[in-house]
C-alpha cells in the first residue's frame, strides 16, 4: 500500500519511511504542512493512508485534517502528536483524524495501527485475504499457497497485496505504479511486467492450467477470485 508521511522532523521522518518500506509499503515523505495539503488535494486517490504530524510549519496537522475532510477526501489519517491531553485527542478525532499516536511511540505499534486502519470496515477486508488457493496474511506479512509458505520479495508482496485487494478488477500500469511505488521511484512499466512474471512463476506453478494473474491486453492486469 502507498502511504503519505507528513513530518517536519527529517531524521524521524526518514527513519519511519525506511522502516515502513521494509514492511512492504511505498512511502512518500513531505516536511511541511502546506506541501502536504497540496499533495493531498491533488493526489489523494494515489494514497491509501496518511501519517500526519500535528505540529508542522505552514498548515498544522489539525488544519490539514479539517481541510481534507472538507474536500470530501475519506482517506484514513493517523496523527502523530506530542500532546497527551484528552481534549486535544478529542479535537483531533472531531477534525477528521481516524487515529492518533502520542510521541514517543513504538514503531511496531505504528505498523499495527496502520494495518488496522487499512482494514477499516468500509474496505470490507479481513486481516487475511484469500483468492483461490492463495492466502495473504497482512498482520504476519506472509503468503501461503495451499497452506505452504511462498517466498516473495517486498515488491512482489506489495504488488500481490494490491491486486488481491482489487480482486476481479482490472488495474492498469499507472494504478499499480501509483500504489506500489513511490513518487521518487522512476521504474518503467516493463519493471511491473517483470514482477508480474515472477509472481506467476511462484503462484501459478502446479495449478493445472488455471491462471491466478490474468493479463488484459492493452489495459492491465487482473487477479481472478
Give the position of cell 503462484: 203
Most confidently modeled of 77-91, 98-112, 126-140?
Answer: 98-112
Q: Stretch 94-100: mean pLDDT, rounded? A: 89
Cβ density class 215-225: b for 16+ within 10 Å, e for less = eeeeebbbbee
Q: Are residues 98 and 137 in the same domain?
A: no
Q: Stretch 139-168: mean pLDDT, rounded? A: 87
Mean pLDDT of all residues belonging to the chain: 86
| pLDDT score for 138 | 76
Q: Stretch 198-205: mean pLDDT, rounded? A: 84
| pLDDT score for 21 | 92
Q: Stretch 97-105: mean pLDDT, rounded? A: 90
Q: For 11-48, how does the pLDDT look when each residue is reduced to its tens digit (9 = 90+)?
A: 999 999 999 999 989 999 999 999 999 999 999 888 99
Number of structural domains found in the chain: 2
Residue 123: pLDDT over 60: no
Q: Are residues 155 and 44 in the same domain?
A: no
Q: Are residues 115 and 134 in the same domain?
A: no
Q: Are residues 9 and 107 in the same domain?
A: yes
CA atoms within 13 A on the CB side of 65: 25
Q: For 210-221, how does the pLDDT look when each residue is reduced to its tens digit (9 = 90+)?
A: 678 888 888 889
C-alpha span between 137 and 17 (Å, rounded)? 22
Q: Which of 71-80, 141-150, 172-181 has the lowest mean pLDDT?
A: 172-181
Q: Are residues 134 and 111 in the same domain?
A: no
| Residue 122 per-residue DSSP state | G
Say which CATH number the domain at 193 has: 1.10.10.10
Binned at pLDDT 50, 70 and 90, residue 4 comes out as very high
Say which CATH number the domain at 104 has: 3.40.50.2300
Q: Are residues 156 and 118 in the same domain?
A: no
Domain that holds residue 197: 128-223
Q: Are residues 181 and 88 in the same domain?
A: no
Q: For 43-66, how does the pLDDT look when each residue is reduced to its tens digit (9 = 90+)?
A: 988 899 999 999 999 999 999 999
Q: Are residues 41 and 59 in the same domain?
A: yes
Amino acid at each position: 500500500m502507498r502511504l503519505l508521511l507528513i513530518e517536519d522532523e527529517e531524521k524521524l521522518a526518514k527513519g519511519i519511511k525506511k522502516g515502513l518500506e521494509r514492511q512492504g509499503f511505498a512511502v512518500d515523505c513531505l516536511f511541511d504542512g502546506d506541501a502536504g495539503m497540496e499533495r493531498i488535494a491533488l493526489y489523494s486517490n494515489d494514497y491509501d493512508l496518511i501519517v500526519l504530524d500535528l505540529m508542522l510549519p505552514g498548515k498544522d496537522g489539525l488544519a490539514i485534517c479539517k481541510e481534507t475532510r472538507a474536500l470530501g477526501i475519506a482517506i484514513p489519517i493517523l496523527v502523530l502528536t506530542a500532546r497527551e491531553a484528552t481534549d486535544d485527542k478529542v479535537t483531533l478525532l472531531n477534525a477528521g483524524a481516524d487515529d492518533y499516536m502520542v510521541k514517543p511511540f513504538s514503531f511496531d505499534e505504528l505498523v499495527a495501527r496502520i494495518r488496522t486502519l487499512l482494514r477499516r470496515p468500509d474496505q470490507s477486508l479481513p486481516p487475511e485475504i484469500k483468492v483461490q488457493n492463495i492466502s495473504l496474511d497482512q498482520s504476519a506479512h506472509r503468503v501461503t499457497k495451499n497452506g505452504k509458505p511462498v517466498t516473495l520479495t517486498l515488491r512482489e508482496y506489495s504488488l500481490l497485496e494490491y491486486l488481491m485487494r482489487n480482486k476481479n478488477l482490472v488495474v492498469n500500469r499507472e494504478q499499480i505504479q501509483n500504489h506500489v511505488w513511490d513518487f521518487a521511484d522512476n521504474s518503467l512499466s516493463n519493471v511491473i511486467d517483470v514482477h508480474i512474471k515472477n509472481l506467476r512463476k511462484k503462484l501459478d506453478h502446479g495449478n493445472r492450467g488455471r491462471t491466478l494473474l490474468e493479463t488484459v491486453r492493452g489495459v492491465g492486469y487482473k487477479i481472478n477470485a
